Amino acid sequence: MDAIILQILNGLDKGSAYALIALGLTLIFGTLGVVNFAHGALFMMGAFCAVTFSRLLQVSHTVVDPTKTDFLGNPATVEVPYLYDWLGESAGATVIDWAVPLSILFAIPVMIAIGVFMERGLIKHFYKRPHADQILVTFGLAIVLQEVIKYFYGANPIPTPAPSAFVGSFDFGLMLGFDAGSIVYPYWRLVYFFFAAIIIAAVFAFLQFTTFGMVVRAGMADRETVTLLGIDIDKRFTMMFGIAAAVAGLAGVMYTPINSPNYHMGMDFLVLSFVVVVVGGMGSLPGAVLAGFLLGIVEAFASMTQVLEVLPGINQIVIYLVAIVVLLTRPRGLMGRKGVMEE
C-alpha cells in the first residue's frame, strides 16, 4: 500500500507538468486552430525566466571586508548583492532565497509578451495553412529559441534551488498511520502539484465566469457569428495565445527546482504533451487535464521496480501504448469533439 500511494504521488507530480503544458497547447489549438510545436519552448523560456530573475537578484558589487585577509595578508574583497544594501542583509537574503516563487511576477508579463509577439509576428500568417505547415514552422521556431537559450546560458543545466523552507520531505506515512519514513515525498513536488491545481482552476474559472472568457468560448464555437456581432475576436484570441504562453511559462518557472533548467528541456516535454492532448481529445480543455494526470500516474506505476523486472523499459513507452489503445477505442480521444481535425 505504501508503494502504491508513493507512485500515485509521483504520478500527480508528473501529471501536473503534463496537464499544464497540454492545457496551454489546447487553448491555442481550440482558439486559433494552430498546432503549436513551439509550446515546449515556451515551457523552457519560463524556466529561464526564473534563472534570469534569480541572477538579477544576485547582481553584486565588490567591497573590502576588513575582517578577512587574502594569502598576502591584505584585506580581502567580497561580492555583496545590491539587495543587501537596499533591504538589509537579512531581508535581502530572504528575497534571494525565494527567487523562484517571486520570479512568477517577472515571468507572467514576459511570457505574455513573448506569446503575443509570436502570434502577431509569425503564427497569424499560418492560420489558413495546412497543419503540416504549422507544425514545421513552429518546430523550427522551437529550435531557434532553444539555440538562443543555449548561446546565452550555455549547454549545462543551471541549478535553481527551491526556498530553504521547502527543502526536505513530508512524511505521509506517519500521517496515514504507516511506519515513520515509509512514505516520504519532497515538499517542493507537493507545492508544484498544488500550484498546478490553482493555475488549472484559474484558467477554467476565467473562461467560464468572465465576460472575456465567455466571448472566447463563443468564438471557439462559432467564430464567424461572433465577428458579425461586431466583436474583435482576433484581438481576444491573440490575448489567449499570450495567456497560454504564460501558463506554459509558469509551469516551467515552478519546475526549475525539480529539474535544473537546460536548453533542451522543452523538447523533452513537447512530444509527451502532444500525446496528452491527443489522448484527451484535440480541443478539449478538460480532456487535456484529465489525460495529463492519467498518463502521469500510468507512467509512475510503470516505473516501479517490480514492473521493470518483468517488463524492462516499459516506463519509456507506456504512455504511447496507452495512446494507441485509447485512439483505437476512442478515435477522438477521451473527451474529443466531433469535427476537430477530421476534415
How far apart are alpha carbons 337 and 295 in whole angstroms? 20
Min mean pLDDT across 62-66, 174-178, 208-212, 238-242 is at 174-178
Return the higher-pLDDT residue of 96 and 183.
Answer: 96
Band the pLDDT of 338: cuts 50, 70, 90.
Answer: low
What pLDDT is attached to residue 45? 94
| Closest residue by Cα to residue 28 from 195, 270, 271, 248 | 248
What pLDDT is attached to residue 113? 94
Tens of pLDDT, residues 304-314: 888 888 888 88
Band the pLDDT of 89: cuts 50, 70, 90.
Answer: confident
Residue 97: is its pLDDT beyond 80? yes
How far apart are alpha carbons 90 and 106 in whole angstroms? 22
DSSP class of residue 283 equals T
Band the pLDDT of 302: cuts 50, 70, 90.
Answer: confident
The one-letter amino acid code at 336 reads: G
What pLDDT is attached to residue 257? 93
How far apart are alpha carbons 66 and 78 in whole angstroms? 10
Residue 17: is its pLDDT beyond 70? yes
Residue 317: is its pLDDT beyond 90? no
What pLDDT is attached to residue 270? 80
Residue 343 CA to its chain's centroid (Å): 31
How far apart are alpha carbons 83 and 204 in whole angstroms? 38
Burial class of residue 96, CB neighbours in 10 A (0-12, 13-18, 19+): middle
Task: Find the helix or strand (DSSP H, E) in which 67 lies.
Answer: strand 60-69
Tens of pLDDT, residues 142-186: 899 999 999 999 889 999 999 999 988 887 777 766 777 677 888
Question: Average pLDDT for residues 78-100, to the nearest whole number?
Answer: 89
When the pLDDT of each residue in the chain is averaged and rounded to a whole number, the result is: 85
Residue 340: is its pLDDT beyond 60? no
Tens of pLDDT, residues 98-146: 999 999 999 999 999 999 999 888 888 887 788 788 888 888 988 999 9
Collapsing DSSP states into helix, strand and coil, what is residue 1? coil
Task: Find the helix or strand (DSSP H, E) in which 78 lies.
Answer: strand 75-81
Write the DSSP string, 15-50: HHHHHHHHHHHHHHHHHH----TTHHHHHHHHHHHH
What percent of the chain lies above the pLDDT cut of 90?
A: 27
Band the pLDDT of 230: cuts 50, 70, 90.
Answer: confident
Min mean pLDDT across 71-75, 85-89, 96-100, 325-329 is at 71-75
Q: HSE of 54 in the Cβ direction (CA atoms, 13 Å)?
A: 22
Q: How many CB atoms lie within 10 A of CB 158?
A: 17
How long a stretch of residues is the chain? 343
How far apart are alpha carbons 128 and 117 in whole angstroms? 19
What percent of the chain lies above the pLDDT cut of 70?
A: 95
Band the pLDDT of 76: cuts 50, 70, 90.
Answer: confident
| Closest residue by Cα to residue 57 from 22, 24, 18, 97 | 97
Residues 281 and 14: beta-carbon distance below 8 Å: no
